[in-house]
Amino acid sequence: MAEQNSVIMEIRAGAGGQEAALFAADLFKMYSKYAASQKWKQMVLDYHQTELGGLKQVVFELNGNDAFSKMKYEAGVHRVQRIPTTEKSGRIHTSTASVAVLPKPKPTDIKIRPDEIRVDYYRSSGPGGQYVNKRETAVRITHLPSGLVVTSQTERNQLQNKENALAILGARILEKKREEEISKMGGERNAQIGSAQRAEKIRTYNFPRDRATDHRIKKKWHNIENIMEGKLDKIIQTLAKTL
C-alpha cells in the first residue's frame, strides 16, 4: 500500500559560498531527475538563485506513490568534495548543503487561522537582487504564534504564491509539532531522532575518487555521475532495508 504521497523538500546551501550554492543546485537536479524516473509530479514553491546559477535555497513539492517513504532518507547535511569550476589552482574544495524532507500536511492535520498570520507582498528578485517583476507578486507569510517566516516568489500572481507559501508553512508547523512531541517523550535516542533531520552529516559526494559515501550505514557507491543524474534507486533501496 502506498504511503504518504506528497512531500515538501527544502535544499539550502551551507558552508562553501558560491560552490555550496552550485552544489545545492546539483542536488535539486538530482532529485528532479529521480522524481521524473518515479513518475512523480514536481512543483517548485520557492527558490533563490545566485549569479552563477547556483541556489541559495529551493523549496519544492513532490507528489506520487511513496514519495515520502523514499525521500525521507535524504534529510540531513550533504557534503561535496571536488574542484570547483571557479578554482584556478586545482584545489579540492569541501562544501555542504542541507536537505529537509517534510510530509505535506493534509487539510485536517493543520489549521492555520487568518488572524495567526501576517502576509506581506513584495517584488520578486533574481540573482544580484535585481527586480524580476515590476508588480508585487512575491509573498512573505509570518506565523505569529511560532515566529516561522516563509516566502514564495515562483509564480506570476499573488494568489498562487500565497498558496505555495501556506503549503510550506503548514509543513514547517507540522515538523515543529513533531519535534516538540519527540522532545517531550524524553530519552537520549528520541532527542537524537529529532535533531538528525537537518543537522547530521549523512552523505559525502567525492568527485576525485568517484564515490558517494553514506555515513549512516558506512556504505560507498561508485559512478558519481550516474548518481548526480538521479540514479538513486540502489542507494534508496539499501537505506530502506538498513535504516
Residue percentage of the chain with pLDDT more than 70 = 88
Distance (Å, whole) CA 164 – CA 185: 32
Residue-range domains of the chain with CATH: 6-104+196-242 (3.30.70.1660), 114-185 (3.30.160.20)
Q: Is 90 exposed, middle or buried (0-12, 13-18, 19+ CB in 10 A)?
A: exposed
Cell of 162: 500565497
Mean pLDDT for the chain overall: 88
> Hey, which bits of 6-128 come out as E strands?
6-13, 41-49, 55-63, 76-82, 93-103, 117-122
Rg (CA), the chain: 18
Distance (Å, whole) CA 196 – CA 131: 37
Distance (Å, whole) CA 33 – CA 231: 8
**With 80 as the cut, is the pLDDT of residue 235 above it?**
yes
Query: What pTM value is reported for the model?
Result: 0.84
The mean per-residue pLDDT over the stretch 25-48 comes to: 96
pLDDT attached to residue 188? 45
Which backbone phi and psi does 47 adopt, to 5 degrees? -155, 155
Distance (Å, whole) CA 209 – CA 224: 9
- Model confidence over 143-199: pLDDT tens digits? 999 999 999 998 888 999 999 999 999 999 988 888 887 777 665 444 444 444 456
Distance (Å, whole) CA 64 – CA 53: 28
